[in-house]
Amino acid sequence: MYTYNLGGKAILITGGTGSLGRKLTEKLLADYAPRRLVLFSRDEFKQSEIASGDPDPRLRFFIGDVRDGDRLRRAMRGIDVVIHAAAMKQVPACEYNPFEAIKTNIGGSINVVDAALDAGVQRVIAISTDKAVNPVNLYGATKLVMERAVIRGNAYSGAHGPIFSCVRYGNVAGSRGSVIPFFLRQRGTGTLPVTDRRMTRFWLTLDAAANLVLDCLSKMVGWETFVPRLPNFKIVDLARAIAPRAEIREVGIRPGEKVHEVLVSVQEGRHAVQWQDRIVILPSPPAPPACTEMLAEQYRTGVPLVDGFALRSNDPTRRMTVEALREEIGKLHNPEAQAWAREGYHAHQ
């Protein structure tokens, strides 16, 4: 099996001051020995926060926006690896600001591909979302186009250019703007609003997301999309785990919101394999012959998915119980979750 060593490499993270960017930074500096790590973002305050104190001398900061192709080209000089995590992510914000979402999530991703090709980096991995599958909102639609643009970037690389792949996963538990911190703050009111009692979502922690991205980055050969096989949960079970005595009030689905999410569609399952602990979606239409041979060699132990397979958040065979959710919430590195966990189990009865 082919494995790429990140040690000694110069790595750039777009959206490097976001939740995932910070966690990747922590893990890369602690465990992977990069030569240089560049955090590319437009948030100078967050960059100054990270830089304050005694920052790692390998760490660099680059103010810029992925919408600015020239700035990206400047930032990628001498870079070996790019992790593309910059995006507009909030569904309502994308719905009400569609042109801005398109400029950032689609135009910015095309700029990342172009800059990587021009700078001669070695590999690019882009972060996607379950909302890109059968999208019903603008955010999902922009990430679907992002995936296509990044994967097809391989067609422009030639024999010695960069390789491009994607990682697709669901909402990160406890991340900024997610439902868990909201429920934790609301539990004292005695009422937890949910948009739909049937709603289900996938479970993934920030630690697990970062580990997944870095592992896929070391194993990718280009053209593939990696998808973890995640457990799922019901939103009402999450509410019961956090505040069992609270009233659950149904308030209706918001614009662009799904009742259930999908990580792998039936159509994608036809050209995907189960490999190690994840699903690898292979390109369709197929990659050029030489690339197809590399993919076949890397994933030769992969098992084709059964006909009609789809990875859905309403699959009862991968459902988390209320007890499992309570235990996992207590492990989150989140101020609200840690305060909740310190109250003790008896406080949630």
Distances (CA, A) of 155 to 45, 288, 324: 38, 8, 44
The domain that holds 166 is classified in CATH as: 3.40.50.720
What pLDDT sits at residue 344?
67
Q: Which one of 131, 143, 219, 234 is the catalytic residue?
A: 131
Residue 309 located in a structural domain: yes
What pLDDT sits at residue 304?
97
| 331 catalytic residue (yes or no) | no
What pLDDT sits at residue 343?
79
Residue 59 located in a structural domain: yes
Query: What is the full per-residue pLDDT of the chain (349 aa) written as tens digits?
Result: 889 999 999 999 999 999 999 999 999 999 999 999 999 999 999 999 999 887 899 999 999 999 999 999 999 999 999 999 999 999 989 999 999 999 999 999 999 999 999 999 999 999 999 999 999 999 999 999 999 999 999 999 987 899 999 999 998 997 777 889 899 999 989 999 999 999 999 999 999 999 999 999 999 999 999 999 999 999 999 999 999 999 999 999 888 889 999 999 999 999 999 999 999 999 999 999 999 999 999 999 999 999 999 999 999 999 999 999 999 999 888 888 888 888 765 455 5
E strands of 206-291, at which residues? 225-228, 232-234, 247-250, 262-264, 272-275, 278-281
What pLDDT sits at residue 347?
56
Residue 336 located in a structural domain: no
What pLDDT sits at residue 267?
97
Residue 183 located in a structural domain: no
What pLDDT sits at residue 190?
93
* 145 and 104 Cβ atoms separated by less than 8 Å: no
Residue 335 located in a structural domain: no
Task: For residue range 113-136, list pLDDT tens digits in order.
Answer: 999 999 999 999 999 999 999 999
Closest CA to 272 of 313, 229, 240, 314: 229
Query: What is the token pair recorded at 323?
Result: 């007890």
By residue range, what is the domain housing residue 71? 10-171+203-230+262-317
**Domains contained in the chain, number:** 1
* 214 and 27 Cβ atoms separated by less than 8 Å: yes
3-state secondary structure of 87: coil
Give pTM, 2 decimals: 0.95
Q: Report the C-alpha gap between 64 and 68 in whole angstroms.
A: 7
Residue 134 located in a structural domain: yes
Task: For residue range 54-65, list pLDDT tens digits in order.
Answer: 789 999 999 999
Residue 5 located in a structural domain: no
Residue 154 located in a structural domain: yes
